Every structure is written in C-alpha cells, then in structure tokens.
Amino acid sequence: MSQVAKDVCTFLRWTTEPEHDQRKRMGLKLLMWSAILVPLVYYMKRHRCSVLKSRKIDSIQTTKIRQHNFIHCFQSLPVYSSQDY
C-alpha cells in the first residue's frame, strides 16, 4: 500500500511540473559546458595573460610623463583675476 501512495505522490508531482525534466536536462548541459569552459578560461588567464602580468613598467619614465601631463593640463587653463568677477 505504501508503494502505491508513493507512486501516486510521484505522479501528482510530475503532473504539476511537466517542465521539470526539461530543466533537469538544461542543468546537465550547463554543467557539461561549464566543465569545458572553466579550465579553458583558467588556462587563458594563467598562461596566455602571464606575459602582461610580468611586464615591468619603467616607473621613472611613467612619473615624468604624469608630471608633464599634470603641468600641461593647468597651463592650458585660462587665468582669471579677481576683477573679472
């Protein structure tokens, strides 16, 4: 008798959610694609982009460029006196 009750409950649950099997298949497809893509992205990040991470930037040259741009930025601004207001 308990097996019949279990079967009835399973059938009623299946009739309320007929898209359950489709969602389950989509979830398995997602897991399979993730299993393929995650190692690929890890490889790309770890090995292909390591060249960019290991580059050394010349900090002295960078500082000079920043100072020049900062000074040039303020030199191009118009100067107002207190009489202009």
- Is 76 within the bounds of a domain? no
Residue 22 or residue 81, greater confidence: 22
**pLDDT tens figures, 30-77:** 999 999 999 998 888 887 777 666 666 655 656 666 666 666 666 655
Is residue 16 situated within a structural domain?
yes
The predicted structure's pLDDT at residue 43: 87
* Number of independent structural domains in the chain: 1
pTM: predicted TM-score of the whole model, two decimal places: 0.45
pLDDT of res. 48: 73
Burial letters 5-41, b for 16+ CB under 10 A, else e? eeeeeeeeeeeeeeeeeeeeeeeeeeeeeeeeeeeee
18: domain range?
1-51
DSSP 48: I
83 within a domain of the structure (yes/no): no
